Amino acid sequence: MSKPQSKDFPKLHLLGFLLVFLSLTLLVIYQLVVGSDHLRIPLRQFIKPATFIKVIKGLSYQPKASGTPEVFPPSDLTIKVDCQEFCQFRLINAPDQSLVKTIPAIIDTDAAGQLKALELKFFDPHYGFIGYQNVSLEDPKFYVINFNPDLLQAIQLKLNRTIDIGFIDYYPDSQQILFESFDPQTQTKQQFLYSANKPSLKIL
């Protein structure tokens, strides 16, 4: 005949589980935390209340949404194109020429691909847009990305192998790009506005 279990057994079981869970959590946190010298913090220092509170605050910190770097006013940001191997854009803080961010010149056919040559068409530091064009004569395309970059728009600049589309200007107030098309068969031109922040076309 089995003996009845103690009423405290479930409580002890739960307490043991919590202790094991807490120990494993602290171990994982300790493995991840490093000091300003990029070395692991000594265990004696890690278990001090002041250090542990700083660690918990750091883990609970939620960064702001990425986009235009907030540390630098848009008026201080400039851009440089670097195509030594694959093209990328370097956001520069103009006053001290420090590097703020490097952004790859991505293309639509391959999310991991980049151009080896391009033409920078516009740079909008306020809203965080970059407009650029490849240098292909057979398949010319215009691209718009943001600073994240999690936005990519690709505009075909040659339609039906006859109609050519060219970039004219960018208007930062409305975040619109002015293009002009030319049909050599009819000798006609047509201008239209395309939104930089979303697929939107307006015929003029």
What is the full per-residue pLDDT of the chain (204 aa) written as tens digits?
445 555 565 666 677 777 766 666 655 554 444 444 434 455 555 555 555 555 444 443 333 444 443 446 788 899 999 998 889 999 999 988 999 999 999 886 555 567 889 999 999 999 999 999 998 888 899 999 998 888 888 888 988 878 899 999 999 999 999 999 998 888 899 999 999 988 887 887
Same domain, 126 and 192: yes
Q: Is residue 8 part of a domain?
A: no
pTM: predicted TM-score of the whole model, two decimal places: 0.62
Q: Is residue 114 part of a domain?
A: yes
CA 47/CA 101 separation, integer angstroms: 36
Same domain, 36 and 124: no
Q: Is residue 157 part of a domain?
A: yes
Same domain, 41 and 94: no
Number of domains the chain is built from: 2
Q: Is residue 5 part of a domain?
A: no
What pLDDT, on a 0 to 100 scale, did the predictor assign at position 86? 87
| Structure tokens belonging to residue 65 | 């949404």
| Structure tokens belonging to residue 67 | 């986009």
Domain hosting 79: range is 74-203
Q: Is residue 135 part of a domain?
A: yes
Q: Which residue has the tokens 């405290």?
A: 8
